[in-house]
Amino acid sequence: MKLYSVICSILLFSCTAKEPKQIDYTQFVNPFIGTEGTGHTFPGPCMPFGMVQPGPDNVDKGWDYSSGYQYKDSIILGFSQTRANGTGISEFGDVLLQPFTAENNESFGESYFKESEKASPGYYTVMLKNKVKVELTCTERVALHQYTYPSSDAKLLVDLQHGLRFLTDSLVLGSEVKIENKQTISGWCYTKNWVERKYFFTIQFNQPFTTSRLLERKAKEAAPRYVLHFDLKDKLLQTKIALSTVSVEGAKNNLLKELPGWDFQQTVAHAKATWNNYLSRIEIEADQKQKEIFYTCMYRLFIQPSNIADKDGKYRAADDAIRTAKDGTYYSTLSLWDTYRAAHPLYTLIAPERVNGFINTMIEHSKAAGFLPIWTAWGKDNYCMIGNHAISVIADAYQKGFTGFDAEEAMKQMIRSTTENHFNSNWTLLNKYGYYPFDSLNNEAVSRTLEHGVDDYCIALMASKMGKKDIAAAYAKKSAYYKNLYDSSSKQMRGKNSKGNWRMPFDPLMATSPMNNPGDYTEANAFQYFWTPAQYDVEGITNLLGGKDQFTAQLDSFFSIKALNPNKHLGQEAMIGQYAHGNEPSHHIAYLYAYSNKPEKGKQLITQICKEFYGNTPAGMIGNDDCGQMSAWYIFSTLGFYPVNPANGAYIIGQPQIKKATVHLEDGRKLFITNDQLATILFNSKPINGFTLYHKQISAGGNLNF
């Protein structure tokens, strides 16, 4: 009986004891970080890898307003449903809505009470000066707006001409819009900005509008703008906007399947829970400021790539055909020149369930477009930036053992993309000279040669693992083309013409950019692009320089030579000497000190970059976040390692910025990181020889002790 009583007591305690309180990681996310200055982020709600990103638009064009928003701006034009995170060019801004109270046919922009503006993952709110309280939330494909008016007499602008524009005055080329009834407006718009695309939509209201008025179209406008009047029962108006790349029916199905009701708070709670699932994948022990920076970086990392497949798996492909994705996902907003470096390697570690979908998307894009994606928006390639870095992402996944895609088909498309000429990639010219001559290619000739070398190396790496020796040998040879542009007198990668003569005059400090200052380099100068081949061939770079001492000296010079009049539009931002953390070509360079005679200097620089160029204020991101790449650098560096080579499954050890971290891996495995400043770095109690960790080690879980 005593034993029975003890058992009953234990069972009673186990039933009544409270579950450990789950940490709400969304409390550490500040969506306003990076919204002031050049971070080009946005404060509106979104879902991990979601299609829609509703939020406020202050201005509809201009480099500063790439996301439509700047923290210090005082006017809100309205609230559109899509945008990109931290890019250098505007796109999207579809279906703008603006609640108002006083008629004004000229301008519907409203000032607002800055102190009322709040944001957290899955939620945004602001009080306009017209006394309308705006609240936004969303699911993956549906935006939900809630407006509280000061009276029952409510007005709403529905602007389908609006969009976030870049170098164009006429965004919409055509449209077909129908007011189906007094609670539904549906249709499509055909736009041309960064890409040409069609988006389909349906707008539903929880109350019927009493009247609608079509505003007069201005010159070059091809889509309608409506003013709707409502006689509200409770001063509250809700509206749902569902989007699709496929059809109006697809948009309506997305709405029906994802958000059939009108429960605003439940939608916010669902978004918050979904975000916590992703944010909790890494736990860190740090102060409040550092947690805010770290978890906001985690948040930015997971915003994209965006799954643009409808709920039924249908999507509009690069060739405009309607297809069905095998697993229901088809990803866009692929900013690959940026994200191949660290964001995609990080996904393999903390979001592995997404990786096969990314790769299958890239393969399907290549089948439709004729080459692997370069930079896609809404499934269409905008050909922005250089290189064919989907190749790196595919090779990285294959190297790490991902098997949810057809490797043979992937290799076929990789070879196709590097043998058939396409935008920014002229293989006939490159293979003829072993470099791009600047007199035959008058823009970015050096950078393009070097970026192609990264991709050629990746194909060689994957082909070798697949047992394709001839392919591996051919691409390994091409990956060394960078040596043809090395100038031993300046110790730089330098432009060369078709006769083999160096570009004259030559200023290695002069940054060039294809739009602002055309030249041999892409948003960078010779100093910065010199280190591009070091992503995969440190030994080759060291030999070119003459040995380890000279390699170290070159790094020292790079981080100490002062930048003269650095121009953020040329990628010269967040500078330490010639190192420009505000743009991607520099991101791996501090870690190269691991290969030098001064490994400790690299660790000091990593700490300096973390502290000086990241903050928890609106101005806390110096340089475009570029679809999560800037954030990925910070996450890796906080943990203490970074993928200098983005495709071989290796990480270079740096300097962790926290005392403890727990990385939650696939199948319940965990990586425990502690920073005790030991003389020897230990993995599972065994000393690490050298300065390299491998994905195979880390993904298996264990204890990493610095």
Instruction: Say if residue 425 is in the same domain as residue 555.
Output: yes
Q: What angle do CA 565, 566, 572 make, to 5 degrees?
A: 170
Task: Kindly report the CATH number assigned to the domain that includes residue 69.
Answer: 2.70.98.10
The parent domain of residue 162 ranges over 37-264
Is residue 528 within 8 Å of 512, Cβ to Cβ?
no
And the tokens for 289? 């400021």
Q: Is residue 177 part of a domain?
A: yes
Region of 313 on the Ramachandran plot (φ > 0 left; ψ -120 to 50 alpha; else beta): left
626 and 488, same structural domain? yes
Clarify whether residues 370 and 229 are in a common domain: no
Give me the residue label for tokens 């928003």.
69
Q: What per-residue confidence (pLDDT) applies to 105?
A: 57
Single-letter amino acid, residue 240: K
Of residues 583, 705, 639, the one with CA closest to residue 290 = 639
Residue 102: per-residue pLDDT: 85
Domain boundary among 240, 264, 288: 264
Indicate whether 357 and 237 sit together in one domain: no
Distances (CA, A) of 312 to 142, 209, 303, 315, 373: 14, 31, 21, 9, 24
Within a domain: 192:
yes
DSSP 135: E
| Rounded Cα distance, 138 and 497, in Å | 53
Length, in residues, of the chain = 706
Q: Is residue 299 part of a domain?
A: no
53 lies in some domain: yes
314 and 259 part of one domain = no
The torsion angles phi and psi of 568, rounded to 5 degrees, stand at -60, -25
pLDDT of residue 20: 56
Q: What is the DSSP letter of 674?
A: E
Q: Examine the fold and report which residue of 228, 247, 264 is the final residue of a domain before the chain moves on.
A: 264
User: For residue 327, what are its two tokens?
Assistant: 């697993």
Do 238 and 113 lie in one domain? The reply is yes
Domain assignment of residue 673, yes or no: no
CATH of the domain at 612: 1.20.1610.10
- Domain finish residue from 264, 292, 322: 264
**Residue 704 resides in a domain:** no
Give pTM, 2 decimals: 0.96
Residues 332 and 221 in one domain: no
Same structural domain, 108 and 231: yes
CA distance 97 to 30: 25
- Is 203 in a helix, a strand, or coil? strand
Q: Where are the alpha helices (DSSP H) in 147-259?
A: 248-258
Instruction: Give me the number of domains the chain comprises.
Output: 2
- The verdict on 492 and 359 lying in the same domain is yes
Residue with tokens 């050629």: 456
The verdict on residue 694 lying in a domain is no
- The reply to whether 214 and 330 lie within a common domain is no
For the chain, helix (H) and strand (E) counts, in that order, are 18, 35
Residues 329, 217: one domain? no
* pLDDT < 50 positions in the chain: 1-19
382 found inside a domain: yes
Shared-domain flag, residues 331 and 208 = no
> How do residues 354-408 score in pLDDT, each as one tens digit?
999 999 999 999 999 999 999 999 999 999 999 999 999 999 999 999 999 999 9
The whole-number pLDDT of residue 107 equals 80
